[in-house]
Amino acid sequence: MLDSVIVGNVFREIRERKGLSQEVVSGLADIGRTHLSAIERGERRPTLDTLFKLAAALNMPASEIVREMEAALKRSEENGSGIENYFK
């Protein structure tokens, strides 16, 4: 699935919006730093457990994070994320 990239970007955007490093967030969430890195790049799909841990570390409700993911996924459907839009 290509969606994991979009999902990962949501994690990244929230983290950067708060000005936190991967090291700090992964430390608060009690997960490995390289793991968080992989999640943000869309190379790992977190479990619900990890979602809740990251939500706590980012100090916001997990449901809010998922809402942003739904919005991002919807955008990518509308705009199209196919190869034909890659050079616009």
Q: Which residues bind a copy of itself (CB under 8 A)?
A: 1, 3-4, 7, 45-49, 51-52, 61-64, 66-67, 69-70
Examine residue 34 and tell whether it contacts DNA (CB under 7 A): yes
Which is closer to a copy of itself, CB of 26 or CB of 65?
Answer: 65
Examine residue 47 and tell whether it contacts DNA (CB under 7 A): yes
Q: Is 80 helix (H, G, I), strand (E, B) or coil?
A: coil
CB atoms within 10 A of CB 56: 14
Q: Which helix (H) or strand (E) holds 77?
A: helix 62-79
CB atoms within 10 A of CB 53: 19
Q: Which one of a copy of itself, DNA, none is in contact with 83 (Cβ closer than 5 to 8 A by kind)? A: none
Determine the Cα–Cα distance for residues 24 and 57; give it in Å rounded to an integer. Answer: 9
Examine residue 65 and tell whether it contacts DNA (CB under 7 A): no
Residues in the chain: 88
Interface ranges with DNA (CB under 7 A): 4, 16, 21-23, 30-35, 37-41, 43-47, 49-50
